[in-house]
Structure 1
Amino acid sequence: MLDNVCFALVDLETTGGQASHDQIMEIAVRLVGEGVNDHWESLLDPMCGVPRFIQGLTGITPAMLKGKPTFTDVQNTLWALLDDAVLVAHNARFDAGFLRANFARQGRQYSPRVLCTLKLARTLYPEWPKHGLEAICEQIGFHSEVHHRAMADVDAMKAFFDYARLDKGEAVFNFELGLQLGFPVLPPLMTQSDIDLIPCQPGIYRLLSEIGELLYMDGATSLQEAVLAHFSSCAGDSKATKLARRVGRVEWQLLAGELSVGLRLNPLLRQHVPQMQRRAKTLGKPCSVRFVATTGAVTRLRLRSGLPAKVDLASESFAIFRDRQQAKKCIEEQLRLCDLCMHALNIVSERDQCTCSACEAGDVGTEHSEDAVVKLNSRLLAAFTEYLYIPWPFQEPIVIREDNGNGFVEWHLVNHWCYYGSYYWDSVQEAFCELDKAESGVGDWIGVLAARLKCEQGIDFDYQHYRLFHRNMSRLTCIPLSEMTTIK
C-alpha cells in the first residue's frame, strides 16, 4: 500500500441513519499500514432507545448496551487511534458524518482524508453485480458468521483490501487509492524510474497505451514537468484519470526550445489523431482588418480574408487575426471596452445594436468636430495596437538560432514571416541539413545560396507561425542569411 500512510478501517453501528440526532452504539477500528497492526472495539451506551428494526438488523439489544461507556467516555481513546490516519469505511460518507458530528459535540474538529471501499469496489470490479459488503464477501470467498456488527464488518473490509491488492497488483491498487485520497499518482503501468528518464528539457511528448496507441501529444519547455502535470490533476472520473489509467509508456523528441515546439506541434497534431485529445482545428485563411482613413473623417474598418497584396509595402495600418470569427469577436470586444461607436465606424449591421455611450444617449449619427475625430481615430488605433501587423523588419531571409542550454541547437529559416524549416548548421561545410534527416544521417546538405533560393519559393502566410516568430524573435538571435558564412 501507499508508503508511510496509516489506514484506520472503521465501522459504526448506530440507532438510525441521521448523524444530527441518531447515536453511535458500537465502534470498531483496525489500523493497517507499514509496521502498524492494532485494533479496538467497544459497545457504547447511546443514551436513547434502539429501534426494533435496528435490533433485528444488528442483534444489539438495549440490555447489551446498559452500563457501557458513552462516546464522551471513549473519545480520547478513539481520537488517538484516528488522528493522522486515513479513515476507511464502506459507504464512508455515513461513518465520517457520524464521527464528525460526535467529535464536534466534544469540541473537536474531525476532518480526515476518507477512503470509501464501496467506491473502490465499484471502480476495481465494475463487472460485479452488487458491491455491498456481504456481496463483496461472497465474491472474494470471505466467510463470516456475523454481519452488521462493527468488528465483523471491519474484518470484511480488511479482507477486501488484501484481496484487491493481490488480485489487481500493487500498482493498480495504489493508483486507485491515490485517486480517492487526492495524492499525486503515477499510471499503474509506469514506475518512478520511467518518469525519471524523461528529461527536463524542451520537446514534444507522446503518451502511449500499453500496445502503442497514441493517446495524447503535446509540447513543453520541460518534458518531465508536463508529463507529471497530467497525473497530478487526476480526480474521480475526470479525463485526466481516464488518461492515466491507459498510459503505458511515454515517448519524446528533444527540441531546442519554445519556438521549435510551436513550429512542429500543430502539424503533428493535424497528421496524427490522439485518441484522448481534441482534434486540432483546421485553420482557414487569416483575416486582416484595414483602417481606412479619410482626412477629417472617422477611420472606417474593412475586413478581408488573407493579407493585402504586397503586404510589406502597404501604406495603411492593418490588424491581423487567426480568422474572420476571431476578428469580429475582437472588434466587438474592443469597441465595448473603449466605448467606440459601431455606427461611426460603419460596421453595424441590421441585427447589431451599438451600446456605446453616444448611442445610449440617443446621439447616433451626430457630426463629430475635427478635434473629436482625431481623438476617436487615436482611440481606435490604440485599441488594436496588440493586433497590428508588424512589417518584416529585415532586408533578406534570416536564420533564428535556438539553443536548449544543453548543447542542442536548431536554426530556423524564415523569410517575410514564412517558415522554411529547421536545420542543423555545419560551420565547416558552411551548409544546412534538415534537422530530422541530420539526426538519421541521411540528409542532403544545402549551402547558403540554396537556402536563399528555397526562401524565394512562395508559400502561404501562416498566422500561427507569424505569432510564434513575433513572440520569440526578441529573445532569440536572428542572423541575416548572408552572414551565416561568418558563423563558426
Structure 2
Amino acid sequence: MSDPVSNTQLATRFPGLDRPLAIVDIETTGGSVTRDRITEIGIVEVDKDGVREWSTLINPGMAIPPTIQRFTGITDAMVADAPRFEQVAKAIFQRLEGKVFVAHNVRFDYGFLHNAFASLGFPLSLELLCTVKLSRALYPEHRRHSLETIIQRFGIETDARHRALADARATYTFLCRAAADRSPESFMQAVLVQTRRPSIPPGLDPACLDQLPNGPGVYYFYGENDSLLYVGKSVDVRKRVLSHFTADRASARGMAMCQQVRDIQVQSTTGELSALLLEAKEIKTRQPLFNRRLRRVSTLYTLQLHEDTEGVLRPEIIEAPSASRDRRMHGLFPSKKKARNALIDTGKQFGLCDHVIITPAPLNGPCMGRQLKHCKGLCTGDWSAAQHNVSLMDALGSLALKAWPYPGPAALIEYRNPDDEASPYTLFLLDNWCVLATLTGHGEPDWETLVETPTDIGLLDKDIYRYLLRVVFKPPREVRLVGL
C-alpha cells in the first residue's frame, strides 16, 4: 500500500492547529485504564520538518485475552520479547512533548498513556484533540463517527485495521481530508472548541490539573496560607474545574477568585447525590470566601391540602420533611413567609377566598378580597366549595411535587463502578423525597446495619428533589433503588 503520509504538506495546512501534532493510536489488553495495559503504540508526528512515523509493540506484563488477540491480531507470543513500557517511555515522551495529542476517542488513548506515565512517577500533561468530536462538529449530518465508518466514508486505504500505526495513519488521513473538505473558518472553529486553553492562575502549579478526576466529587480552591476560597461539586470534576479558568466564561468575581488560586484539592464521591450533600455540608461548616451563600437551608416548607368539615380544601404550610406521603406537596420554600406569599399571589390570580388563603376563618361573611372583587365568592355563597376546590388545585398545580412512588421508605445506592462487585457505594435512606440517613461501604449493602441506623429529621431541597426526580423513575446504571 502506498504510504498515505509520505507526500503531505506541513502542519500549517490545518487551520487552528499552529503547533506540532502527534497523532496517536494504542492497542491494549482491554478497556479498563486501571486494570489493562498497552500492547502497541503508533505515532504519526507532524511538524515543520515534515511527517514521521514510529511504532512499537509493548510487553504488557499480563496475558492478552483471546478475544482481544482475535480483534487486534496481537498475540502473547508477539509481545513476549517486546520492551516493557518503562523501557520505551522516554522514546514515547520525546515524540509527544510540545505537540497537540490527537487521537480518535482521545480519552481512551490519552487515559492509558497518562496512567502508564503516572505509574512511573511522571505526570503527562498535553493539549488534546479528539477526531471523533471533530468529525461530529464538521459532519453533523452523519450519525456514526467511528474510525471504521470514517475509513469507509472517505475511502481511506489501510492494510492492518486495529493495529496502532495503521489506525494512527488513518486518523491522520482523515484530518487531512477534513481540512481540505471544509472551509478554513469552519475547520478552525471546530478545532478551537476543543483546544481553547484555560487561563491557568499564575500561582497554580499546572500539575494540579493533571490529578483532577473525570468522575463525581467536590473540589476545593485554596489561596495564600491555605485560605479556602471556594467549594464546588460536579459529576465531572476535571471538566468543571477547567471551566472556571476559561476566560470567556468567567465573571469579574470569578476571574478575581481564579487569580488567587494556589492549590486545588478534590474529594471524590460515589455519585451525584453524595456530591450534592457533601458540598452543602462543606459550604455550611467552612464558609469559603467566594461561595456567595448556601442555597440549602436547614428547613424547607411546603403546602399541603386538607379538607375541613364543610368540604373546603384548605392549604397548610408545614415543614417538608414532616409532610404526609398521602397528600401531594406543593412547592419547596425557604421560609413560611415565602410559602404564604406564593399562596397569596396565586390566590389572587384564581379568585380564591381570603378566608381560605390568607387568614383561615369560617365562611360566614365576605372577605377583604371579595370586597376588592378579587374573590369569586366562596365566602358569600356565590361559589360552591367544589368550584373553589377545583380552582385551588389548579392554582397550585404548577407547584405540585411528584407523588412519592413508594408506599414507605426506599434505599438509593450509588455505585462508583457498577461493574465491580466490590465497588464502593453510598446508600441513602429516602422517604417522601427526603434524605433520612446515609451509609457507605463496599459491595452489597449491609441491610441489618441500615435498619439500625438512626435517621435525621430529613434533608430536602430543590437540587436534591430535581436529582431524585430524575433518577427515581429511571435509574442510571450506577444507581440502584430498593423499596423497604
Could you say which TM-score interval applies, normalised by the shorter chain?
0.3 to 0.5
- TM-score, with normalisation over the residues of structure 2? 0.47
Give the TM-score taking structure 1 as reference length: 0.47
Larger Rg: 1
